[in-house]
Amino acid sequence: MRANESNELHSPMKPWYRGAADHVELALYVQPGAKKTEWAGEYDGSLKLRLAAPPVEGEAPGAPVFLKPPRR
């Protein structure tokens, strides 16, 4: 491991990403009612997720979502 590699793991790469030793937090902007569930890039400092589920009471449903990470 390089000397600065440890610091690189804990520094934010994007404003929507925050990593720790045992977990990762992502800031998501979720758009319900999309044609299909997919990653849609970045939006206003968040990672945008189009969700193929209708809104519940005007908001994205609270069901867990499992997706593959976007390709780089």
- What local confidence, expressed as pLDDT, does residue 4 receive? 45
In this prediction, residue 68 carries a pLDDT of: 62
pLDDT of residue 64: 58
- The label of the residue with tokens 């908001």 reads 59
d(CA 23, CA 71): 20
CB 47 within 8 A of CB 16: yes
Beta bridge partners of 19: 24
Is the sign of the CA dihedral 65, 68, 40, 26 positive or negative? Answer: positive
User: Mean pLDDT in runs of 10 for the chain (72 residues)?
Assistant: 44 77 85 90 91 82 62 64
